[in-house]
Amino acid sequence: MSTTVNSAPAAEVAHREEGTRFRVLYAISFAHFLNDMIQSLILAIYPMLKGGFNLSFTQIGLLTLTYQITASLLQPIVGLYTDKHPKPHSLAIGMGFTLCGLLLLSVAPTYGVLLVAAALVGTGSSIFHPESSRVARMASGGQHGLAQSIFQVGGNGGSAMGPLLAAWIVHQQGSVAWFSLAALLAIAVLWQIGGWYGRHLAERAAKKKGAGTAAKPLPTRTVVRAIAVLLLLIFSKYFYMASLNTYYTFYLMDKFGLTRQTSQIYLFVFLFAVAAGTILGGPIGDRIGRKRVIWASILGVAPFTLMLPHANLFWTGVLSFVIGFILASAFSAILVFAQELIPGKVGMVSGLFFGFAFGMGGIGAAVLGTLADTHGIKTVYDVCAFLPLLGLLAVFLPDLGGGKKTVTAAA
């Protein structure tokens, strides 16, 4: 049995006619670049913190967990609230939390203060991501996948630059404070975006009376099943990504005897691949359907993750690039797929999926840190190699199509 529903409510059709606001998309992508560059700094300086504070891998994992869990728990709440009560300038305020966390990180005298600093950065992230994702959708002109990819590539580019800049700039804990300049620049950009956001809300409110009726929703059972599958795929992706984001430098140093600076360059190459791959998932999903992109991204990376633990240094670099490139295309497709499943709840859906992604990254870092302490860092990659096989669950997703006005979903 199938249910055919209109996936383009009249309000969205009207919005599509406005055209894609690329200046806004590039601005919010740049802000995402600065935000995630600052956040990735924490990951990049782990070797320095580990030595300076005499931390175990478990404590490193708990540091990541503190940052990620703050973001993951707050994001759906922020998104749900701003769906009903939009706060255009909350973006700049959220970056203010990140700025405070960054400055505290640069002077933290104890491990406990490091945890507080990580929690502040996580709080800033929890405010930034749901609202900035909403801005990207507002500015999409109906090209939702493309808009999310432009937004996401900024964040992934920032994540790639963080370790590289850390290798050049951060030679002692106090040097972290230099990155506060990036936070201040982001606040200025986000304040301007907030102004456009407010004006756009006013324009949309004025047009709302003539927007027509909303689309008929998918059956609840179909939506619940699809959301559950998407969250499991996020678990697979981000648990695996945690192994590379948090422990890749340690793996390279342990297995191949690389220096900290050289291992950070390899981490940059991996994160650059993530940034490069991100831009593909959204627009391809707009054209051929997001389900196909999800299939290719999650399940398609499995052969490469299974080979990685057995590769030499050269092929480790090549495989990590390929893995980052393929996996990166998944999130934009998954996020827009979820937004289409629950129309009208962009903030809540974005907060749920960003939050769950960060939460899985944090839990993954903590669990994998304990595994590394007890069984060795190489075991982490032996175990995580099988996670992408969960991509087989994509068979249970409804067919929403790509860039089409109608969708057909199994009831």
Tens digits of per-residue pLDDT, 270-289?
Answer: 878 887 777 777 777 777 77
The mean per-residue pLDDT over the stretch 231-236 comes to 89
Say if CB 349 and CB 223 are below 8 A apart. no
Threshold 0.75, pTM exceeds: no
Q: In sequence order, which residues have a C-beta less than 8 Å from that of residue 363 and are 6 or more positions away? A: 65, 68, 69, 239
Interval 257-268 mean pLDDT: 86
Region 375-399: mean pLDDT is 89
Q: Range with the lowest mean pLDDT among 27-36, 325-334, 367-376?
A: 325-334
Query: Hey, where are the domains in the chain?
Result: 2-410
CB distance 144 to 286 below 8 Å: yes
Confidence band (pLDDT; 50, 70, 90) for 206?
Answer: low
Cα 182 from chain centroid (whole Å): 19
The CATH number for 2-410, chosen from 1.20.1250.20, 3.90.1150.10, 3.40.30.10, 3.10.20.590, is 1.20.1250.20
Query: Which of 113-127, 149-163, 281-295 is modeled with the greatest confidence?
Result: 113-127
Q: What are the pLDDT digits (tens) for 6-20?
A: 444 444 444 444 566
Is residue 311 left, alpha or beta, with left meaning phi > 0 and alpha meaning psi from -120 to 50? Answer: beta
* Largest interatomic CA distance in the chain: 65
Under the banding of pLDDT at 50, 70 and 90, the label for residue 207 is low
What do you get for the CA distance between the two ends of the chain, in Å? Answer: 6
Q: What does R_g of the chain's alpha carbons equal in angstroms?
A: 21
Structure tokens at 388: 């992408």
Give me the chain's average pLDDT, please: 81
User: Is pLDDT larger for residue 108 or for residue 401?
Assistant: 108
DSSP letter string, 332-386: HHHHHHHHHHSTT-HHHHHHHHHHHHHHHHHHHHHHHHHHHHHH-HHHHHHHHTT
Q: With bands split at pLDDT 50, 70 and 90, how would you rate the model's confidence at 171?
A: low
Look at residue 16 in the predicted model and tell me its pLDDT. 44
Position 19 scores a pLDDT of: 66
Question: Distance between CA atoms of 317 and 252, rounded to whole angstroms?
Answer: 10
One-letter identity of residue 293: V
For residue range 49-73, what is the model confidence (pLDDT) as tens digits? Answer: 877 788 888 888 788 778 777 877 7
406-410 vs 2-6, strand pairing mode = antiparallel
SS3 406: strand
Given a contact cutoff of 8 angstroms between Cβ atoms, the answer to whether 9 and 339 are in contact is no
For the chain, percent helix, then strand, then coil, each to nearest 5?
85, 5, 15
Taking the C-alpha atoms of residue 125 and residue 90, their distance in angstroms, rounded to an integer, is 11
Compute the distance between CA of residue 371 and CA of residue 387 in angstroms, rounded to an integer.
Answer: 16
Distance (Å, whole) CA 357 – CA 347: 15
Q: What is the pLDDT of residue 320?
A: 93
What is the reported pLDDT for 391?
87
Q: Is the pLDDT of residue 222 over 60?
A: yes
